[in-house]
Structure 1
Amino acid sequence: MKYYIISGEASGDLHGANLIAQLKIKDPDSVFRCWGGDRMAAQGAYLVKHIRDLAFMGFVEVALNLKTVLGNIKLCKNDILQWKPDVLILIDYPGFNLRIAKFAKQNNIKVVYYISPQIWAWKQSRVHQIKKNVDKMLTILPFENDFYKRFNYSAHFVGHPLLDAIYNESLIRQENSSLPGILNNKPLIALLPGSRKQEVKRMLPQMLKATKKIKGAQFVIAGAPSLHESFYQKFLKDYNIPLIFNQTYQIIKLSKAAMVTSGTATLETALLKTPEVVCYKAAPLSYLIARRLVKVPFISLVNLIMDNEIVKE
């Protein structure tokens, strides 16, 4: 079968890569074309567009980049029509993917949504688009099926893929329980400023300022695989803090605590049993809009799943 997979961020690239690995076992003749990142490409998928060029977030930011977003949607539609996949698999990324789902449905292409958009938090009206255009919804959070039942839509809970991802990563790295010789005997605090350029621009300077107030500790930054080292250097010129790529789980496991930008990384940190503070900063206008639209009391996945403030936000 021919699988067309669309993800717009680093966590989706991780989950998409693991999905491709399993689909290749089930379907040895499978062929993959995707919008994703290095992990999906490493699994043999042809990369149409890299996530580093897709990750716009926030109301204002999307508006400022609207021409690029619309151009990407047009490119994606044309590419789907030309390639003629047997199934379209969408991973989160709702602003983009729900438009593509509608287009695919109109062109008689089967649509599977793997990892539901967080419409239970905001923009609940999107559930009607999903009912109309998505053939199968695969959810990863335990309360999402109940949400869809309220709208007479049947979703399928498949468990959270991070459990498998962390387990597989641990098997690969179990022989190496330390980081390269950059650390001393002081307690380690991890800085995880996010995977998108916009997130890192906002969050890393705030995290770096906070390090000046913490005495008797050492710090390390977990670099996002989709971003180049040179992107970080402009923020680090006044700080002697190491930047490490492709060892995020090792960094978290070896840390006594972590500052984590809200997103999938908060759940990863919790699953690795490292205490964390969840951080987020939005553009002022985006924040004011979000306050009116968001319908949940927490921003971190950990607290949302537990329905209680387990980690500090």
Structure 2
Amino acid sequence: MSTESLKYFIVAGEPSGDLHGGKLIQAIQNINPNTSFMGHGGNAMKAAGMQILEHTDDLAMMGFVEVIKHLPRMMKIMGRTIDTISRMKPDRIILIDYPGFNLRLAKRIHSLKIPITYFILPQVWAWKEKRVETMKTVLDQSLSIFPFEEEWFDSHGLATTYVGHPFAELEHLDEASKEFYQRHNLSIEYPVLVLLPGSRQQEIDRHWPVFLNAVESIKKIIPDLQVMVGKASNVTINSIPDYFRIETNARKAMIAGTAALVSSGTATLECAVEDTPMIVCYKLSSISWIMAKYLTHIKYASMVNLIANKKIVPELLQDDMTSTNIVEAVLPLLDSKNIKRKKMLAGFDIVRKNLGLPGVYNRAATAILSQIKEHDD
């Protein structure tokens, strides 16, 4: 098969995966324009030219209980996905993160003998380590975004290529800080606390009431506190006070922030890249938390601390995520002269260094196309 005309089936089930998928599609097209893409993704992948079968808005979920609750619908989506792949016979399947669905899909379509690339690998080093055996059986190519993963996977028998982390090439946004402040009627004289409660409705429902209580307490201490909410377009947030400012572009909110309350996830890395001090907060359902504690084997929950391999940012998880704890942790970060804030900013330098060099999507696209050529030869 010539690399001049290729069909790809790509699966990204979450907003972050959609953003990475869109950039990866563009990188592949830059090398080989005569390609077509079909699969599951969101607006970024659609804008890059992929035909969307299932949208990320209907796929994203978090926690054991939530997954079980939506299991019948997800099984139907799995069935339709397998039928489509069988009919389409793509030249390559690219799976992006979303391991609960994607690893099951890879197992079920393995018999079709269609090469599978996994970009942004399942974090089996954190929990469910035995899944690496499945990966060794069903994957043809593994592309890692974390520097420590390549060695870990290689030592477990899965050949892996480290391409760098996508956030290494984040570009600063066009809108100047002055314009952003004017648009949201903010003052540069007073601190701005950014709230990033999550990109899934389950996260909003658990985090938002605690965030609200914390802000009310902080306002009593800092009456001139300004509050900016980074709100994902696919979620509903109730009970938003009138003085809160809403921004749908979370990164713009981060850049304007003096400090942030962030649900654990990729937003923590974005804050680190943008030098926004943060407190990481997260709550699961009680059953999901118990199972996560039992199954996980990592020291930290946030990607910032994992990449630095040390505690850079405080993590307030589950029962520790109280408004009292949040207030105590975030107040020093709202003071530009506080030593805790300065130490955290110094720690972000370590994180950025460990993310690698820009050009991640180009390296990933080149690796994919190189293996296609090798497969053809």
TM over 0.5: yes
Q: 1:188-237: CA deviations, max 9, x gaps?
A: 11111111111122112221221111133111111114x15xx22x242x
Letter in 1 for 2:244: I
How has the CA–CA distance of structure 1 residues 197 and 22 changed in structure 2, closer, same or farther, with 3 Å as cutoff?
same
What is the match of residue 209 of structure 1?
A: 213
Q: Gapped runs of 5+ residues in structure 2?
A: 1-5, 316-377
Q: What is the distance in 2 between the residues matched to 1:58 and 1:221?
A: 24
What is the match of residue 146 of structure 2?
A: 141
What is the match of residue 131 of structure 2?
A: 126
Q: When you count helix as a share of all residues, which structure comes out higher?
A: 2
What is the match of residue 288 of structure 2?
A: 286
Q: What is the distance in 2 between the residues matched to 1:95 and 1:144?
A: 19
Q: What is the distance in 2 between the residues matched to 1:253 and 1:160?
A: 20
> Which of 48, 58, 65 is the matching residue for 2:63?
58
Letter in 2 for 1:243: I
What is the match of residue 297 of structure 1?
A: 299
- Give the TM-score normalised by the residue count of structure 1: 0.93
CA contact (8 A) 1:131 1:153 kept: yes
Q: What is the distance in 1 between the residues matched to 2:186 and 2:86?
A: 52
Q: 1:253-308: CA deviations, max 9, x gaps?
A: 11110000000100111111110000000101111111111100110000011111
How has the CA–CA distance of structure 1 residues 98 and 240 changed in structure 2, closer, same or farther, with 3 Å as cutoff?
same
Q: Gapped runs of 5+ residues in structure 1?
A: none
* 1:69-218 mapped onto 2 (5 Å cutoff): 69-164=74-169, 166-167=170-171, 170=172, 172-173=174-175, 178-179=180-181, 180-184=183-187, 185-215=189-219, 216=222, 217-218=225-226
Q: What is the distance in 1 between the residues matched to 2:216 and 2:53?
A: 42
CA contact (8 A) 2:93 2:117 kept: yes
Q: What is the distance in 1 between the residues matched to 2:178 and 2:243?
A: 24
* 1:240-255 mapped onto 2 (5 Å cutoff): 240-245=243-248, 247-255=249-257
CA contact (8 A) 1:145 1:155 kept: yes
Identity across matched positions, percent: 38
Letter in 2 for 1:201: D
**How far is 1:53 from its partner?**
0.6
Aligned residues: CA RMSD: 1.6
**How far is 1:181 from its partner?**
3.3
**How far is 1:175 from its partner?**
8.8
How has the CA–CA distance of structure 1 residues 126 and 177 changed in structure 2, closer, same or farther, with 3 Å as cutoff?
farther
Q: What is the distance in 1 between the residues matched to 2:121 and 2:179?
A: 34
Q: 1:169-191: CA deviations, max 9, x gaps?
A: x2544697524133234211111
**How far is 1:121 from its partner?**
0.6
CA contact (8 A) 2:192 2:259 kept: yes
Of structures 1 and 2, the larger Rg is shown by 2
